Copies of this chain bind each other. A is one copy, B any other.
């Protein structure tokens, strides 16, 4: 089962070596850095870390499409912000709202149905929706080197989690196929749910009210709540992941915090500080101070998709 040549899509270099050395150390029985399998937790951000988030996170394409569908039934939406901006493709207004407000907009379009019905709607959209720039299905805009890394960690006894600002229900609709990560190992932003036991079938309805916006310090806090263990490895790509990376890195024993830098305009995109929805600035400046290993898409990855 163990791949004799893991991380085939990673170029030789400091990042790949850091990963191989770390996994070798924590899995070496009797070694000074051995970690029992129960402690092998790895957490990954999703958008921009495992899949393309340019020009927008996938969930917003889905939500904007929902706005179009819902406004056909309710024309007053076209008069109301922020839906008006969506229908008018007014991205300056939309980006100006910030990431949390944009997720709240998305969640508003996901409310009023059960979590199981939502899963069907999301899977239906994902089955055919294509990324406008990459030119493949959104659910296939995932980074091949990361899929290999997740598989490699799993082969070495790690439980791999996604810890993202993205909506948990939307991510659950594709993470198993895309990364081999089960639904219950996804932690994200969420809305409040309502328990409905009126009819024949008991179910959970999605409300338009935010439960948790899972970004920045909320990431380690939700890891404490959902997992109850400090991860041995954390991988992010923006300032929104810095708290999680520092939390993982500052535990005792061997730890690895990785930061993906999008510096590859040719194969994907080159951006950091200027991406208004999820900038990479402080984490890049302080990576060395905090012991975070920077991964360059251009230098460290043989292929992207």
Contacts and interface: CB of A to CB of B under 8 A. Distances in A.
A115 B186 contact: no
Interface stretch (A47-55, A56-64, A86-94, A192-200): A192-200
Interface string A231-252: 0000000000001001101100
Contacts of A45: none
Given A193-B221, A201-B250, A38 B159 contact: no
Given A38-B176, A202-B246, A221-B204, A227 B193 contact: no
A291 to B, nearest CB: 12
Nearest to A168: B228
A38 B168 CA distance: 17
B228 A186 contact: yes
A43 to B, nearest CB: 11
A203 B201 CA distance: 42
A299 interface: no
Nearest to A229: B183
A41 interface: yes
A169 interface: yes
Copies in the complex: 2
A144 interface: no
Given A184-B228, A246-B202, A195 B217 contact: yes
A168 B38 CA distance: 17
Contact of A228 (B115, B201, B229, B230): B115
Contacts of A243: 195, 197, 202
A172 B228 contact: yes
Contacts of A159: 184
A169 B200 contact: no
A182 B36 CA distance: 12
Which of A41, A190, A200, A202 is the most central at the interface, judged by chain B CB atoms within 10 Å of its CB? A202
Contacts of A203: 247, 250
A116 interface: yes
Contacts of A128: none
A41 B228 contact: no
Contacts of A229: 183-184
Contacts of A225: 168, 190, 193, 211
Given A38-B176, A193-B221, A183 B228 contact: yes
29 contacts: A38-B176, A38-B182, A38-B183, A41-B184, A115-B224, A115-B228, A116-B230, A168-B225, A168-B228, A172-B228, A183-B229, A184-B226, A184-B229, A186-B228, A190-B225, A193-B224, A194-B221, A195-B220, A195-B221, A195-B243, A195-B247, A197-B243, A202-B243, A202-B249, A203-B250, A204-B220, A204-B221, A211-B225, A226-B226
Interface of A: 38, 41, 115-116, 159, 168-169, 172, 176, 182-184, 186, 190, 193-195, 197, 200-204, 211, 217, 220-221, 224-230, 243, 246-247, 249-250
